[in-house]
């Protein structure tokens, strides 16, 4: 089915969308581009500002479309870019089986989606022109004085921010001391309201990441058995004190700043010479989406490096507003792909950005789609504690456990027990179904210091997932 | 040192829980905490949190138990590549329809995708080991693994689902041995179990079962078991002497003779004047058997079916069909199904009540017949044929033309015809599914359309099952 630039021009909401789409209509921005065998559907993955590429899909029969990006423009620049790629045949759209994420979208589409929405008929129609969108704007040489002024302003802003954060951390420590003085029993009973208050103060103090963490603290606390909550509160509040002091000791440390204030942008991470890039085969262990109290949905993808080189685990972390509606999953748990990840600079690299994903190889290389996972570290306790000792404010660490099995106590609480008896760890939530009834040859899990959340396991029944 | 810290933790936690200063109780860390009270509390909190988070994990209780392995089944699990499709269908539809389809093709679901509940009765017997595993897991006990066939001696070593499956198999192979086993063991079981096991006598029912069934109807404590015994006896022409009720029921259906030369009998329908009469007629259908009803009309059961005027009184049609399904001989059920297959679309629904009494081959043939000869929908054909229809060209039927026309409407939505497409997917043979997919794609349905999931699964799944 053919589509031309005129149709894309009509579909775009404004000239800036067209301009952005023209910038995206380049082969290097895209991976996994394909087309259904009947030529009606096109799809592709486009790298954006988030950790994951955006999944973009369109129905050429009626120009219905969907993108996993958080943009409120419909269609977004990624959809327009994909259509542009197709219209101009900039990359080949190979006929292929429709991916599951495209089928899922088709199943969810409302009837009204079949009628394409061009620019709203009520609003005055802004003139749009694909040719103008393609024109590269000339770079204006910057005045050296203006550059100096800009740099000075940035330095002043950074200083102000640091001062604000330090003040906010003082308030946090004061607040933590108050909770101890008033009693943790009362804190546990009133955790939501109390945490909300200090989180608001931290937001004012530009410590937004820390504020988000404290907002989620009551949820983590209430997930513990009642008798374990005082201990849990001590661990959580203790980590806050440690983090506050680490920030005071090294306010410019990117890793600590990431845990308190804000993360570097994708561009900054990619441009940083300390960023480690790892090209490997990855397995998607699990995807976790959580709606936070601040109205954002955090989407965490846990990846396992199937090769021996580089960090064993990686997390891709994206945020988008809950009000943007269901975003759809970027990955399917269990899927494997070869790709390059850029790890945020860190003592123990874990958080990463997906730079490139080679889906062509995914189909062509069945040798690494076999169920083998990398060798498991023998010393379980060491693997659990090492990251928590290095970065004591860390909330959870991924681990690859050796052979074990789920055991149950009298109350039905599940425990993971190593086959050699070297470790017995309490499992978070219910380990249900097959997980309880088979040997776990290897288990990938998150250890939070007191509970093990199982992500996936290798068994004689093959890989079994526990989240999503 | 660690011991001393650990010993101090109890007092520290207690003090903080109550709101008292804890630093005085943490003597091992006195030097690290310093002299300033507020600062000492924060330092103690950081140290305590780290100690509890890293060095202390919950003690496993004594008596942890592991559940036995989820047993392997007699059929393989569906190929790995098809599991996502199976999961999606299971999430959208009833397992009791998909699982018999898979079993008829020689496959089972993967235990990570689906596990039964202990009381899932309407699933294929091949899953009996999993049902028993779930029951054992819930009960926290296990029985001896039995390798030999079911006997009176090892009866109690079997879990209920496996026992029922073994008894079904024994009844098929050696009806007399199965009956003898029931005669010895049935009295010790609960009413629900007795009802299910007596129902197994329907397989290979013969005159040899009469004495045992008469014993059940005379001595069993449960009215439902008695009623089932009576209905099985009725199928053998030994229904209860419900003379008065049969005569009263016959009063609603006077037989008339029509035709001058070829005089044939026709059953009339008395006009019901009050709701009470209708209720009474319904009640009478439930207490008589078909042989007694026919006797009261002074015709044979076969003549009764032939003389019945269908599609005039829907309620009477349904009651008669239920009566035949409950008390008719196999031959009479076949004859009734043949008669009902001539009915209009609404009347055809009665075939679903007769279907369980027919063989898989009869059900398949009947579904093919009504599909091609009437306005029977695929959804209805699915109810008639169950999992074994295997129709090679279902779209050639009127339902196929109706489906294609409905899908071709300009206002057809993406969620339209879901039930029909699913029914089509269940009744088609593998070749039929492939053909249907081609035609539907040709008619404009996208290959990735999730409404085609069942057809896609059908087309992709090897047929390992035996055709009856």
DSSP B3: H
Q: How many CB atoms lie within 10 A of CB A272?
A: 14
* Residues of chain B contacting A225 with CB distance shorter than 8 Å: none
Distance CA(A340)–CA(B404), nearest Å, equals 46
Which residues in B260-283 are b (16+ Cβ under 10 Å) and which e? eeeeebebeeeebeeeeeeeebee
Closest to B369 (Cα-Cα) out of B306, B427, B304: B427
On the question of a cis peptide bond just before residue B317, with omega within 30 degrees of 0, the verdict is: no
| Residue predicted with more confidence, B306 or B141 | B306
Q: What is the mean pLDDT of residues B325-352?
A: 90
- What dihedral do alpha carbons A224, A230, A231, A236 form, nearest 10°? 80
Token duo for residue A6: 């005129």
Closest to B146 (Cα-Cα) out of B154, B138, B137: B154
Residue B430: which residues within 8 A CB-CB, separation 6 or more? B390, B458, B459, B461, B462, B463
Contact across the interface for B41 and A230, Cβ inside 8 Å: no
| Position A451 pLDDT exceeds 50 | yes
Contact across the interface for B45 and A238, Cβ inside 8 Å: yes
Burial of B119 (0-12, 13-18, 19+ CB in 10 A): exposed
pLDDT band for position A276 (cuts 50, 70, 90): very high
Distance CA(B440)–CA(B438), nearest Å, equals 6
The per-residue pLDDT for B106 is: 94
| Residue predicted with more confidence, B200 or A328 | B200
Distance CA(A148)–CA(A146), nearest Å, equals 5
Q: What is the mean pLDDT of residues B340-345?
A: 87
| Position A375 pLDDT exceeds 80 | yes
Token duo for residue A338: 């070869």
| Adjacent-strand bridge partners of A303 | A284, A314
| Position A468 pLDDT exceeds 50 | no
Distance CA(B462)–CA(B467), nearest Å, equals 13
pLDDT tens digits for range B191-209: 988 999 999 999 889 999 9
Q: Reduced to 3 states, what is the DSSP secondary structure of residue A341?
A: strand
Contact across the interface for A426 and B115, Cβ inside 8 Å: no
Q: Does B460 touch chain A (CB under 8 A)?
A: no
| Position A77 pLDDT exceeds 90 | yes
DSSP B65: B
Token duo for residue A331: 């990955």
Q: What is the mean pLDDT of residues B110-131?
A: 90
Q: What is the mean pLDDT of residues B241-246?
A: 78
| Position A363 pLDDT exceeds 60 | no
Mean of per-residue pLDDT scores for chain B? 88
Report ipTM (2 d.p.). 0.82
The per-residue pLDDT for A119 is: 46
The per-residue pLDDT for A139 is: 63
A436 → chain B, closest CA residue: B67
Q: Distance, in angstroms, between B403 CA and closest chain A CA?
A: 18
* Residues of chain B contacting A242 with CB distance shorter than 8 Å: 46, 49-50
The per-residue pLDDT for A289 is: 86
pLDDT tens digits for range A285-308: 999 888 877 778 888 999 999 988
pLDDT band for position A356 (cuts 50, 70, 90): confident
Q: What is the mean pLDDT of residues A236-243?
A: 97
Q: What is the mean pLDDT of residues B231-252?
A: 84
Highest mean pLDDT among A44-53, A238-247, B83-92, B406-415: A238-247
B88 → chain A, closest CA residue: A104
| Adjacent-strand bridge partners of A59 | A41, A64
pLDDT tens digits for range A393-412: 999 999 999 999 999 998 88
Q: Does B137 touch chain A (CB under 8 A)?
A: yes
Q: Distance, in angstroms, between A11 CA and closest chain B CA?
A: 21
- What residues 20-59 of chain B have any CB closer than 8 A to a CB of chain A? 21-22, 38, 41-43, 45-50, 52-55, 57-58
The per-residue pLDDT for B384 is: 92
| Residue predicted with more confidence, A149 or B454 | B454
Helix runs in B186-313, H state only = 191-199, 210-219, 223-235, 243-250, 275-287, 290-297, 301-307
Mean of per-residue pLDDT scores for chain A? 86
The per-residue pLDDT for A108 is: 74
Which of A36-45, A217-226, A321-330, B35-44 has the lowest average pLDDT?
A: A321-330
pLDDT band for position B375 (cuts 50, 70, 90): confident
Q: Does B81 touch chain A (CB under 8 A)?
A: no
Distance CA(B421)–CA(B439), nearest Å, equals 12
Which of A104-113, A197-206, B17-26, B322-331 has the lowest average pLDDT?
A: A104-113
Place of tokens 């603290």: A217
User: Apex CA B379: angle with CA B373 and CA B382, to 5°?
Assistant: 85
The per-residue pLDDT for A328 is: 65
pLDDT band for position A112 (cuts 50, 70, 90): very low
Distance CA(A289)–CA(A292), nearest Å, equals 9
pLDDT band for position B142 (cuts 50, 70, 90): low
Q: What is the mean pLDDT of residues B369-383?
A: 90
**pTM of the complete model:** 0.82
pLDDT band for position A114 (cuts 50, 70, 90): very low
A32 φ/ψ sector (left φ>0, alpha ψ -120 to 50, else beta)? left
Element (H, E) at B217: helix B210-219
| Adjacent-strand bridge partners of A321 | A296
The per-residue pLDDT for A402 is: 93
The per-residue pLDDT for A452 is: 93
The per-residue pLDDT for A69 is: 84
């Amino acid at each position: 089915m053919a589509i031309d630039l005129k149709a894309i021009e009509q579909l775009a909401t404004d000239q800036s969308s067209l301009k952005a789409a023209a910038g995206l209509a380049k082969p290097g921005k895209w991976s996994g581009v394909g087309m259904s065998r009947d030529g009606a559907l096109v799809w592709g993955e486009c790298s954006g500002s988030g950790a994951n590429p955006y999944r973009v899909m369109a129905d050429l029969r009626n120009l219905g479309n969907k993108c996993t990006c958080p943009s409120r423009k419909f269609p977004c620049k990624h959809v327009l870019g994909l259509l542009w790629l197709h219209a101009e045949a900039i990359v080949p759209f190979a006929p292929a089986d429709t991916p599951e994420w495209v089928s899922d979208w088709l199943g969810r589409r409302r009837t009204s989606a079949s009628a394409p929405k061009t620019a709203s008929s009520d609003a005055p129609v802004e003139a749009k022109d694909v040719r103008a969108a393609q024109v590269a704007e000339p770079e204006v040489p910057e005045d050296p004085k203006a550059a100096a002024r800009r740099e000075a302003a940035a330095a002043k802003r950074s200083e102000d921010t640091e001062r604000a954060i330090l003040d906010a951390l003082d308030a946090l420590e004061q607040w933590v001391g108050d909770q101890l003085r008033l009693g943790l029993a009362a804190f546990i009973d009133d955790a939501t309201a109390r945490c909300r208050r200090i989180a608001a103060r931290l937001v004012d103090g530009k410590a937004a990441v820390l504020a988000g963490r404290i907002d989620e603290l009551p949820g983590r606390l209430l997930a513990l058995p009642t008798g374990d909550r005082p201990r849990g509160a001590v661990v959580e509040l203790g980590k806050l004190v440690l983090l506050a002091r680490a920030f005071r000791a090294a306010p410019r440390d990117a890793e600590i700043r990431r845990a308190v204030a804000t993360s570097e942008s994708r561009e900054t991470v990619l441009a940083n010479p300390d960023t480690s890039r790892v090209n490997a085969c990855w397995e998607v262990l699990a995807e976790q989406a959580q709606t936070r109290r601040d109205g954002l949905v955090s989407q965490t993808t846990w990846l396992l490096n199937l090769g021996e080189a580089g960090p064993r685990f990686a997390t891709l972390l994206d945020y988008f507003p809950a009000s943007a509606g269901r975003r759809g999953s970027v990955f399917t748990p269990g899927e494997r792909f070869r790709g390059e990840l850029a790890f945020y600079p860190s003592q123990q690299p874990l958080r990463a950005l997906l730079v490139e994903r080679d889906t062509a190889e995914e189909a062509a290389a069945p040798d690494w789609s076999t169920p083998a996972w990398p060798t498991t570290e023998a010393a379980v306790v060491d693997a659990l504690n090492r990251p928590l000792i290095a970065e004591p404010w860390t909330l959870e660490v991924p681990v690859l456990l050796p052979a074990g099995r789920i055991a149950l106590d009298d109350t039905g609480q599940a425990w993971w027990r190593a086959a050699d008896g070297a470790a017995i760890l309490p499992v978070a939530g219910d380990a249900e179904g097959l997980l309880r009834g088979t040997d776990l040859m290897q288990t990938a899990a998150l250890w939070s210091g007191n509970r093990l959340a199982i992500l996936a396991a290798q068994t004689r029944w093959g890989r079994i997932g526990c989240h999503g | 040192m660690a011991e001393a810290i650990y010993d101090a933790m109890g007092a520290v936690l207690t003090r903080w829980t109550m709101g008292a200063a804890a630093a005085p109780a943490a003597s091992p860390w006195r030097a690290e905490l310093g002299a300033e009270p507020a600062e000492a509390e924060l330092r103690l909190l950081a140290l305590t949190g780290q100690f509890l988070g890293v060095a202390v994990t919950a003690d496993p209780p004594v008596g942890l138990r592991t559940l036995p392995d989820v047993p392997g089944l007699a059929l393989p699990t569906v190929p790995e590549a098809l599991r996502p499709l199976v999961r999606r269908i299971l999430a959208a539809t009833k397992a009791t329809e998909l699982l018999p389809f898979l079993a008829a093709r020689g496959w089972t679901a993967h235990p990570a995708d689906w596990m039964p509940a202990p009381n899932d009765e309407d699933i294929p017997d091949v899953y009996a080991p999993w049902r028993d595993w779930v029951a054992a897991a819930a009960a926290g006990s296990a029985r001896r693994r039995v390798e030999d066939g079911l006997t009176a001696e090892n009866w109690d070593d079997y879990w209920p689902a496996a026992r029922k499956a073994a008894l079904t198999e024994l009844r098929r192979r050696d009806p007399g041995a199965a009956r003898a086993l029931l005669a010895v063991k049935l009295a010790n079981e609960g009413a629900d179990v007795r009802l299910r096991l007596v129902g197994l006598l329907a397989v290979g029912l013969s005159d040899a079962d009469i004495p045992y069934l008469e014993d059940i109807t005379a001595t069993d404590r449960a009215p439902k078991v008695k009623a089932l015994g009576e209905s099985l006896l009725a199928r053998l022409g030994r229904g209860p002497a419900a003379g008065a009720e049969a005569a009263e029921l016959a009063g609603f259906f006077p037989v008339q003779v029509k035709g001058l030369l070829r005089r044939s009998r026709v059953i009339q329908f008395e006009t019901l004047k009050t709701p009470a009469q209708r209720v009474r007629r319904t009640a009478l259908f439930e207490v008589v058997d078909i042989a007694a009803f026919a006797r009261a009309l002074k015709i044979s059961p076969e003549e009764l079916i032939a003389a019945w005027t269908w599609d005039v009184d829907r309620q009477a049609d349904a009651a008669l069909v239920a009566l035949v399904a409950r008390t008719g001989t196999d031959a009479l059920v076949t004859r009734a199904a043949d008669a009902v297959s001539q009915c209009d679309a609404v009347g055809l629904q009665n075939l679903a009540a007769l279907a369980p009494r027919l063989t898989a081959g009869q059900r398949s043939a009947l579904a093919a017949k009504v599909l091609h000869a009437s306005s029977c929908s695929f959804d209805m054909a699915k109810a008639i044929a169950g999992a074994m229809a295997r129709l090679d060209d279902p779209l050639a039927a009127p339902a196929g033309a109706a489906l294609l026309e409905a899908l071709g409407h300009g206002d057809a939505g993406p969620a339209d015809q879901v039930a029909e497409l699913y029914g089509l997917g269940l009744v088609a043979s593998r070749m039929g599914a492939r053909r249907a997919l081609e035609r539907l794609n040709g008619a404009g349905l996208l290959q990735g359309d999730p409404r085609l999931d069942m057809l896609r699964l059908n087309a992709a799944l090897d047929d390992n099952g035996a055709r009856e």
